[in-house]
Chain A
Amino acid sequence: MSLYRTELRRLGKRRFARWMTLAGLLVLGAVLVGIFLTNHKIGPAERAEAQRKAERQYQLQVRQVEQERTACEQARASGQAQDGRFPPDCEMIEPPPPESADPQWFLPSTFDFRASFGSTLTTFTAILALVGFVVGASFVGAEWSSGGMMNLLLWRPQRLRVLLTKLSALLTGALAVTLPAAALWTAGFWLVGTLRGTTAKTTSGVWQSFALTGLRGLTLIVVAATVGFALASLGRHTAMALGGAIGVVVVGQFGLGIVLAMAGARFVEAWLLPTYMLAWMDKKVTLENWRSCAVSYTGECKPETLELTWQHSSVLFAVGLVLALGAALVAMRRRDIA
């Protein structure tokens, strides 16, 4: 049996990897079920019900206005001091126009597959990227801290080959989980769209767009798993990766965000990692600086904007990946194993 297949077996036997993956898949399942339960198909009955609710709402508003006008006239007749509660002329208190209660607002939530499935892929990616990072870190970190890596190197004294084979096995495992899960996710939401919404206008171009978003999500999951693996290998302990991630979130994201906001920096979100993840998945994110005013040719004051694209994110992720994995490989090659 080859080293690669042995490492795949080892990954499959790791309880933490199994449980963590199961937990991630259960969360995805819960999201799917939650969206199924909170959405409904819109038909004539739902539209009629919405119309009735809108009508009731409008009548309620009219009654409230009438009561208010009556109170105003009573206050004026009794000569009570005007305290600013009522206008000088009670006739100014008018009922709202009938269109103020739009029946559309009273329709139940419905799942439009074409419009909403893309954003569910971001959720799918975020959850599996987290699972990939933690499992990647644990897979190699526990090997280092338990002495398993040293034992393995006594059998295969080719350090880089061993580390890269482990990484290959991890990424194979990540793909083996992600691809079927993505297929089920898509099928699940297609079902949600069919039963609790609509799947209309899902053209081949839309499917192509979903496929590209999914591919970017898959890339992000692979990058997260690799970075977790690399950091844990660098620190020779799972805690190195997890601690590093927590440190980045607490210090580098919350702390930095607060400091930059206090300093009045422009486009604070441009310094935060989730913005780049979102830009990667949605292809672009437009940040707005509400403190500035860019006057348009119509004289309208609009906030200054900064556009972050998936290309910006790709550079950031590539640099992070190369640094983490490169450092792990150099350390593996050079450092003594004590």
Chain B
Amino acid sequence: MPAVLEIEGLRKTYKSRRRGVRHALDGFDMLVEQGQVHGFLGPNGSGKTTTLRTLLGLIRPNGGRMAILGQEVPDALPAVVGRVGAIVESPQFFPHFSARDTLSLLAGAGEVPRTRVEEVLELVGLRDRAAERVKTYSLGMKQRLAVASALLKEPKLLILDEPANGLDPGGIREMRTLMRDLAASGMTVVLSSHILGEIQLICDSVTIISLGRRVAFGPVEQVLAAHSRGAVRVRLEAVADLPAAADALTRAGVQVTARPDHLMLAGVDKPAAVSRLLAENGLYVSELAPVTVDLESVFLELTATAPVPGQHRQVDQSTKVGDGGQPNVAGGGWGV
């Protein structure tokens, strides 16, 4: 698949006399292939929005290379922007215009046929409220309008920053279906979101950013599989047998964590071997379940942003690639 979006070694540095130097993007890489729905994840302040703004020409980078649809940006941005639909961060519109006026003016500026305005209003469910002023809209309705504005151009690449923010459950499901339909029609979608369950459901691949650097990338199932580490949960018929089972498994080289009513095993390649080993020791298994990880737990671990009781994590306290004891990105997958 050809790459629709390529970012290599992107750097953006903010210098302030008071706060010194801050690297918002510190050699960030990203690759999105055609027809994918690609999740772009990262904690607050990790550089997601800076990346998108830089890509779209709103921020000037200090270094690195970017290409959209095979053309180098920002130089070729005026030529390529007609095929890129984007919303960046929260939806912002002039509050005293109606949704129809807002889209109509954008369509005029982008030389898009006016008929397209009604099509996208229908698509995002704002047809009946299109004549009302934007200031009367809820956050979810503004979000729908933002998505409509991004779809006006019938883009080849759609970049959406937190599109589900403020949507009701029905709206989230509609958005999910819309993303899938758009991808099925050949559109490439880059989706930045904190709703990781949605990302896991919608996306084909993900990039995870932390403190301006990529900490993981690849197909979603590959990222999840790489992180599962062969974890298995074991329950026995008799809880009293758990210490003996733990002892037998430890001697066999399995990492065991004892819990009150079960054991958690790590590094198990073949769960059937566990069953056989315990049976040989006269211990009978009532449950043997491979533990699947979700994207949220992978995200929290990779970015080191899982909440710790009694501690208040600050915005910039997350994983930085290349720091001592921190994960490094592995080629073609993700580093642990």
A residues lining the B interface (CB < 8 Å): 1-3, 5-7, 9-10, 13-15, 142-143, 146-148, 150-158, 334, 336-338
* A9 with B78: CB separation less than 8 A: no
Can you spell out 24 A-B residue pairs with CB atoms less than 8 angstroms apart?
A3-B109, A6-B105, A6-B108, A7-B109, A9-B108, A14-B96, A142-B94, A143-B94, A146-B93, A146-B95, A147-B92, A148-B94, A150-B88, A151-B92, A154-B86, A155-B109, A155-B153, A156-B109, A157-B56, A157-B74, A157-B78, A157-B81, A334-B60, A336-B60
Nearest residue (CB) in A for B73 is A157
Q: Nearest-CB distance from B297 to chain A (Å)?
A: 32
Nearest residue (CB) in B for A16 is B96
| A13-B101 contact in complex given A150-B92, A155-B106, C-beta closer than 8 Å | yes
Q: In the complex the two chains form, what is the Cα distance from A334 to B60 in whole Å?
A: 8
Chain A CB within 8 A of B110 CB: yes
* B105 with A9: CB separation less than 8 A: yes
Chain A CB within 8 A of B279 CB: no
Find A152's partner among B53, B86, B109, B153 (CB 8 Å cutoff).
Answer: B109
Nearest residue (CB) in B for A159 is B57
Chain A CB within 8 A of B284 CB: no
* B93 with A147: CB separation less than 8 A: yes
Chain A CB within 8 A of B277 CB: no
Q: In the complex the two chains form, what is the Cα distance from A56 to B58 in whole Å?
A: 79
Q: Nearest-CB distance from A307 to chain B (Å)?
A: 48
B43-59 contacts to A, CB under 8 A, are 53, 56-59
Find B106's partner among A152, A337, A338 (CB 8 Å cutoff).
Answer: A152
Chain A CB within 8 A of B137 CB: no
Nearest residue (CB) in B for A335 is B60
Q: In the complex the two chains form, what is the Cα distance from A336 to B149 in whole Å?
A: 22
Interface size (B, Cβ < 8 Å)? 29
Q: In the complex the two chains form, what is the Cα distance from A336 to B77 in whole Å?
A: 16
Q: Which residues of B contact A155 (CB under 8 A)?
A: 81, 106, 109-110, 153
B residues lining the A interface (CB < 8 Å): 53, 56-60, 74, 77-78, 81, 86, 88, 91-97, 101, 105-111, 149, 153
Q: In the complex the two chains form, what is the Cα distance from A15 to B109 in whole Å?
A: 20
Nearest residue (CB) in B for A3 is B109
* A15 with B96: CB separation less than 8 A: yes
Q: Which residues of A contact B57 (CB under 8 A)?
A: 153, 157
Q: Which residues of B contact A10 (CB under 8 A)?
A: 105
Q: Nearest-CB distance from A107 to chain B (Å)?
A: 52
Q: A155-B109, A336-B58 are in contact. List 7 more A-B contacts (CB 8 A).
A: A6-B105, A13-B105, A143-B94, A151-B149, A155-B81, A157-B77, A337-B58
Q: In the complex the two chains form, what is the Cα distance from A3 to B106 in whole Å?
A: 9
Q: In the complex the two chains form, what is the Cα distance from A150 to B86 in whole Å?
A: 11
Q: In the complex the two chains form, what is the Cα distance from A156 to B96 in whole Å?
A: 22
| A154-B105 contact in complex given A13-B97, A336-B58, C-beta closer than 8 Å | no
Q: In the complex the two chains form, what is the Cα distance from A1 to B117 in whole Å?
A: 14
Q: In the complex the two chains form, what is the Cα distance from A157 to B81 in whole Å?
A: 8
The 4 closest A-B pairs by CB, nearest first: A147-B92, A6-B108, A1-B108, A337-B58
Find A151's partner among B81, B93, B95, B96 (CB 8 Å cutoff).
Answer: B93
* A2 with B94: CB separation less than 8 A: no
Nearest residue (CB) in B for A333 is B60
* A154 with B88: CB separation less than 8 A: yes
Q: In the complex the two chains form, what is the Cα distance from A153 to B101 in whole Å?
A: 17
Nearest residue (CB) in B for A148 is B94
Nearest residue (CB) in A for B101 is A13
Q: In the complex the two chains form, what is the Cα distance from A147 to B142 in whole Å?
A: 13
Q: Nearest-CB distance from A232 to chain B (Å)?
A: 14
| A151-B106 contact in complex given A146-B92, A336-B58, A338-B53, C-beta closer than 8 Å | yes
Q: Which residues of B contact A146 (CB under 8 A)?
A: 92-95
Q: Which residues of B contact A147 (CB under 8 A)?
A: 91-93
* A154 with B56: CB separation less than 8 A: yes
Nearest residue (CB) in B for A8 is B108
Q: In the complex the two chains form, what is the Cα distance from A148 to B149 in whole Å?
A: 12
* B97 with A158: CB separation less than 8 A: no
Q: Nearest-CB distance from A187 to chain B (Å)?
A: 34
The residue in A147, A152, A158 that gathers the most chain B C-beta atoms within 10 A of its C-beta is A147
* A154 with B81: CB separation less than 8 A: yes
Q: Which residues of A contact B111 (CB under 8 A)?
A: 1-2
Q: In the complex the two chains form, what is the Cα distance from A10 to B111 in whole Å?
A: 15
Nearest residue (CB) in A for B84 is A154
* B101 with A148: CB separation less than 8 A: no
Nearest residue (CB) in B for A14 is B96
Q: In the complex the two chains form, what is the Cα distance from A70 to B55 in whole Å?
A: 99
Q: Which residues of B contact A148 (CB under 8 A)?
A: 92-94
Q: Nearest-CB distance from B156 to chain A (Å)?
A: 15
Q: Which residues of B contact A14 (CB under 8 A)?
A: 96
Q: Nearest-CB distance from A156 to chain B (Å)?
A: 6
Find B110's partner among A15, A142, A156 (CB 8 Å cutoff).
Answer: A156
Q: Which residues of B contact A154 (CB under 8 A)?
A: 56, 58, 81, 86, 88
Q: Which residues of B contact A15 (CB under 8 A)?
A: 96
Nearest residue (CB) in B for A337 is B58
The residue in B74, B91, B92 that gathers the most chain A C-beta atoms within 10 A of its C-beta is B92
Q: Which residues of B contact A338 (CB under 8 A)?
A: 53, 58-59
Q: In the complex the two chains form, what is the Cα distance from A193 to B227 in whole Å?
A: 90
Q: In the complex the two chains form, what is the Cα distance from A6 to B94 in whole Å?
A: 15
Q: Nearest-CB distance from B141 to chain A (Å)?
A: 16
Q: Which residues of A contact B60 (CB under 8 A)?
A: 334, 336
* A337 with B94: CB separation less than 8 A: no
Q: In the complex the two chains form, what is the Cα distance from A101 to B270 in whole Å?
A: 123
Q: Which residues of A contact B58 (CB under 8 A)?
A: 150, 153-154, 336-338
